[in-house]
A and B are shown apart, each in its own frame.
Chain A
Amino acid sequence: KVLNVIFTVNLTHLKMIEDSAPLFIREQALNPKPQGGFNFENWHRNERLQNEFRAKGISSNLPKVMLTGTTICGCVYKDGVVLGADTRATGGSEVADKNCEKIGYIAPNIYCGGAGTAGDTFQMKKLVSSQLDLLRLSTGTQSRVVTANTILKQQLFKHQGHISAALIVGGVDCTGPHLYNIYPHGSSNKVPFCTMGSGSLAAISVMESTYKPDMTEEEAVEMAKEAILSGIFNDLGSGSNCDITIIRCSGEVTRTRGFEKPNDTKLLRDKIRHPKELVVPSGSTKVLESSFLKYIDVQDVTAPEPMMI
């Protein structure tokens, strides 16, 4: 019923424009330009389809969003910022990616960890990274962490929480080391340490009990690692390895993929002994007959004399 109504309205709208309006207005009505923000036209249809499936007892095959049901954390220490993340991406209750990378590059001195819908976090990081790139070119100065924070939160607020990206932005700029956490609806906090994602409660409990101001790099990395491990082992949406990124005031950045691999399956896989029968040595298949067919005839042809005009 809803679809029918929309259809008739469109037609009458076109009919009204047709007779009197100049050409460019008619063209606009026929080819409407897409406006900013999200288009929720199909929402009613999707709801209706789901209800119909449920009534008929068919399990709906709508695709499940890939989430980084996650633990990410960040912490400011005396000479910089440490960001940590786990590496499990889930789709529903299944592990979609056992070793995904959640801490992404924003600027040479700013990195960002993302929790929530994997596609959303990746695109947001890409977006702010390219915007900061352009800003650096036009201003000629190093990017500031607060700029990344502002761009991200304005973008997320514009989409009213429909972009499901919870981010931790950390970096060092001319004003010192900074850490911000940004929620999907567009609010952000400037914090000395924070965690986001489904494993955030497990991780924040570790951070709250071990944080102290002005830590050394070893202490901060140890705290971030313990917080992520706590998330990995106590939260089902987080798992696999722990990645650590250290951004120092000196400008040096260390990104370690797989800083700690408590769930390494290599040891188990190496122990698997394939039965000898499955490993076939070359030359064990007996050749009974071989024949060679000429597929094409290769002829040498002398090129004719070039035509003189």
Chain B
Amino acid sequence: AADTLGSYGGLARFTEVERICKAGEETLVACDGDYSDWQHIGKIIKELEVEDRCVADNITHTPHQYWSCLTRILYHRRSKMNPLWNSLVIAGYSDDAAFLGTTDKIGTSYEADYVATGLGLHMALPVLRRKWKEGMSEEEARALVEDCMRVLFYRDCRTINRIMFAKVDKHGQKIFEPSPIPTNWS
């Protein structure tokens, strides 16, 4: 899940920014950070998809491969002292297994059962660590992610209440329309 705000410092400049995109048939990539660098990464992902199709060997890139490739690219840029200023979350479902990994602007990357970026590291990760269990159903996972986004909306100034959820499973990827989540400000 990601909110759809593109801010310009303290100004909520663009409120319909889509920060989750599809990569191939089995992977979703979400980002946090610089918007122009995200657009560049979007182009890189498209190039990878096109290359995949051109080779035409009936093998598509797995989510793990997208994650590795993006990690290498981000680390390479940081080593040239010209980073792509983003934190990426790569999720996918392939070979009957779910994949979730994250990469940073400095190339720190790891696979985990739950990830968060930005202020979510401080606010959402504690909630995820408490409530995540092995073998959760989709509704439970969706409720948990929604809970995290609600807490972040309460306590982070640079967010708006317009959240885009996305999921990927054996049937494929689905990115839902952005919608507000119910909050109680009393």
Please tell me if A233 contacts chain B, counting CB pairs below 8 Å. Answer: yes
CB pair B130 A208 closer than 8 Å: no
A233 near B151: Cβ-Cβ < 8 Å: no
Residue B28 at the chain A interface, CB threshold 8 Å: no
Give the distance in Å from the alpha carbon of A234 to the alpha carbon of B128 in the complex: 11
Using CB atoms, name the residue of chain A closest to B122: A201
In the bound assembly, the distance between CA atoms of A203 and B154 in angstroms comes to 14
Chain A contacts of B151 at CB under 8 A? 204-205, 208-209
B172 within 8 A of A: no
Q: Which of A204, A213, A226, A233 contacts B123 (CB 8 A)?
A: A204
Chain B residues whose C-beta falls within 8 Å of the C-beta of A202 in the assembled complex: 122-123, 125-126
Once the chains bind, are A204 and B155 in contact (CB under 8 Å)?
A: yes
Number of B residues with CB within 8 Å of any CB on chain A: 16
Interface membership of chain A positions 192-214, coded 1 if the CB is closer than 8 angstroms to chain B and 0 otherwise: 00000000011111101100010
Bound form: Cα–Cα A89–B15 in Å:
43
Q: Does B41 count as interface, using CB distance less than 8 angstroms?
A: no
A204 to B148, CA, bound (A): 12
B126 touches A206 (CB 8 A): yes
Q: How many interface residues does chain A have, given as a range? A: 10 to 19
> In whole Å, how far is B63's beta carbon from the nearest beta carbon of chain A?
27
Q: Is B115 an interface residue (CB 8 A)?
A: no
Closest chain-A Cβ to B13's Cβ sits at a distance in Å of: 26
Q: Which residues of A contact B150 (CB under 8 A)?
A: 208-209
* Interface status of A230 (Cβ within 8 A of chain B): yes
Does B100 interact with chain A (Cβ within 8 Å)?
Answer: no
Q: Which of B125, B126, B130, B155 is most buried by chain A, counting CB atoms within 10 A of its CB?
A: B126
Does residue B52 face the partner (Cβ distance < 8 Å to A)?
Answer: no
Complex Cα distance, B126 from A226, in Å, reads 10
Known A202-B126, A205-B148; 19 more pairs at CB < 8 Å: A201-B123, A201-B126, A201-B155, A202-B125, A203-B126, A204-B123, A204-B155, A205-B124, A205-B126, A205-B155, A206-B126, A206-B127, A208-B154, A209-B127, A213-B186, A226-B130, A230-B130, A234-B126, A234-B129
Chain A to chain B contacts (Cβ below 8 Å), 27 pairs = A201-B122, A201-B123, A201-B126, A201-B155, A202-B122, A202-B123, A202-B126, A204-B123, A204-B151, A204-B155, A205-B122, A205-B123, A205-B124, A205-B126, A205-B148, A206-B127, A206-B130, A209-B127, A213-B186, A226-B130, A230-B126, A230-B129, A231-B126, A233-B126, A233-B129, A234-B126, A234-B129
Interface, chain A (partner B; CB < 8 A): 201-206, 208-209, 213, 226, 230-231, 233-234
